[in-house]
Structure 1
């Protein structure tokens, strides 16, 4: 048995419409992720911009935010820094309110803090996720197609 018999029966062209809607939803999610990444980058620049260009605190914060809390030993081995360097990174991230120090079962962990809206600049905060004219045309075309399908799929 193959998956083809189990697929819904669609009218000619309807599969393309379903695919277009799915593609639009994916593009919207990706655009939202881009906006979120821009906000996080702006936050990181505002909070850690005063550090040297070779500072590892931004790299550590990216790993903390993307994956999980790190112990100081893990941070030292993952980023190739000394134990004293881990303290400096921890202090910089805690001072910037981008991370917090926790103790779990006697082990010190550095945990990423979620960015807060009030810290972000207004232009990035109000940036529309999808404002391209082509997407407005796409929405209008999809509305026209929906209206056409509603007229042709009435009781017959």
Structure 2
């Protein structure tokens, strides 16, 4: 199974899911966006040349990152999108919408304090979770029919 892990990059939630899936022996391949914030922001100008205006600097980076994101979401069987506490993740919301538009199985992860703000995103998901462990349990159930316990 191909699983794309989208969303905030400031905590180790991806590593927790990868470790949890490995511990259960799940046959899962994980992909994700570039999680090095500086590399993600500067990839366009690093490869295609500097820009004087910040808008065009960001524009180049966003388009280059979109190549990776679109390909990974298109190839995924399941898309997991995490919304963190510290920052507004507009890119995560975009990824969730893109995955939903493609008919991908969508799992959303966020804390209770984001329930109202993300109600439309949650409505598009097949599962809404709060923890990486719940995502691992979902993958185990989908692949093996196994319930926690």
TM-score of the pair, normalised by structure 1: 0.27
Higher CA-based Rg? 1
Higher RCO (C-alpha 8 Å, min separation 6): 2
The answer to which structure has the higher strand fraction is 2
TM-score (norm 2): 0.28
Going by fraction, where is helix more abundant, 1 or 2? 1
